[in-house]
Structures are given as C-alpha cells and as structure tokens.
Amino acid sequence: EDEITLFERDMKEFWTEFKSVYGTEQINQTFAVRDSCKEAIEALSEKWSKKLKEGDLMIDKIQEYKNEILQQSKCISEKEEQLAEIKSKLSQEEEQQKNLTDSIQELKEELAKKMEIASSKDKAAKEKVERLCKSKVLFEERLGLEIRRIHNEQLQFIFRHIDHKDPDKPYMFTLSINEQGDYEVTSCTPPLDCIAEFQLKVRETNNFSAFVANIRKAFTALSYK
C-alpha cells in the first residue's frame, strides 16, 4: 500500500509538471487528434471490412459464374457431339438415299431395256406366227396339212393321208415361239425321236418349210413300222 500511495503521488506530480510544461489546451488538442484518428481508423476499418465482405461475395459470385460457365460448356460440348452424330446419320441417310435412287434408276433402265427386248421378241414371234399362218394354204395343198391356232399363241400342225391303212389318222405336233424368239416343239403325237434334231436345225437355218417337210417324212417313216 505504501508503494501504491507513493506511485500515485509520483503520477500526480508528473501530471502536474506535464500540464505546466505543455499547457491544458495543447493536451486537449492532442486528445482530440487522438480521438479523431481513432474514429477515422474505426471508420476505415469498418469500410474495409465491408469491402472485404463484398469482395468475398464477389469471389463467391465469380466462382458461381465459373461453375455455370463450365456446366454450360459441358452442355454445349454434349450438344455439339449430338449434332455431329446427327449430321453423320443424315450424311449416311443421304448417301443411302442416293444409292437407292441410283439403284431404282438402274432398275428402271434395265426394265425398260427388257421391256423393249420383250416387245421386240414378241413382235418377231407374232410376225413368225403370221408368216406361218400365211403358209397355211401352201402346206394344206401340198402336204395335206391342217394348221390351227390354239391357246398361248401356239400353232398345231395336223398331218393326214400319211397312214395308207387309215388316211384320216392324224399325226400332229404343236409349235410355239419361246422367250428367245426360237421355234420350240411343245408336243408331238405320236412322239418322234428325231424331233429335237429337227428343232435345232430349223433354229440354225430358219428354213421352216424344210422343218415341216422333215417332220412329215418322219411321220411317214413311222407309219411303215
């Protein structure tokens, strides 16, 4: 307690001496400057604290924007991949459609050619049939032959007066024009072993009169057996 009392006395003496040296007004000014600086520091501290908080908010916002941009970039990348895949499929479909169109065109052209060939063959076959019909009178008079037009544009050739025992007995064969435009015997009564040979020969020579005459000779030879 004595020391405290001694210290307080020394402080009073020091304060009295200090005031006497510097004066009360200067001390008050010092205190005012101190208080002003303190207030300015507090205001500046509050201002920078607010700025720091705003900066933290800004950083959070920027990070949020960055995350959104990354997400959008990822979405755009996925859309671009989907678009590239769609373009690839469209390109493949266009190529397939082009190939299909080309194939259809080729088929059309091929069909047109086949139809033209078929029409030409049909015309040739009809002309042959017409020529055969025009030869009907000649064959009937010289060979005792009757020619009939039957179904599917076929001609039936009927020979009589071959068998001397039975002059009215018919010997016949049926002739048609096949898809290749050649003569083709579809039936023969009674059958002849040499009919295939005669058919091949008329295709080579196109001598139809000789073909009919050879068949009649074969029928005649058969009647004597």
Per-residue pLDDT reduced to its tens digit, 12-57: 888 888 777 766 666 677 777 778 877 877 887 788 788 888 888 8
Cα(131)–Cα(179) distance, rounded to whole angstroms?
18
CA distances from 47 to 34, 43, 147 (A): 20, 6, 127
Instruction: Give, to the nearest 10 degrees, the angle between helix 24-134 and helix 136-143.
Output: 40
Does residue 208 have a pLDDT over 80?
yes
Cα(211)–Cα(175) distance, rounded to whole angstroms?
11
Q: Are 181 and 121 in contact (CB under 8 A)?
A: yes
Cα(107)–Cα(114) distance, rounded to whole angstroms?
10
Q: Which carries the bigger pLDDT value, residue 40 or residue 69?
A: 69
Cα(71)–Cα(11) distance, rounded to whole angstroms?
71
SS3 for 19-84 is HHHHCHHHHHHHHHHHHHHHHHHHHHHHHHHHHHHHHHHHHHHHHHHHHHHHHHHHHHHHHHHHHH
Residue 71: how many CA atoms within 13 Å on its side-chain side?
6
Token couple for 48: 């920078």
Does residue 199 have a pLDDT over 80?
yes
Cα(169)–Cα(166) distance, rounded to whole angstroms?
6
Share of the chain above pLDDT 90, in %: 23
Q: Which carries the bigger pLDDT value, residue 22 or residue 192?
A: 192
- Nearest Cα to 184, choosing from 125, 122, 142? 125
Cα(150)–Cα(175) distance, rounded to whole angstroms?
10
Q: Give tens-digit pLDDT for 128-176.
A: 667 766 666 666 666 678 888 888 789 999 999 898 889 899 999 999 9
Residue 164: helix, strand or coil by DSSP? coil
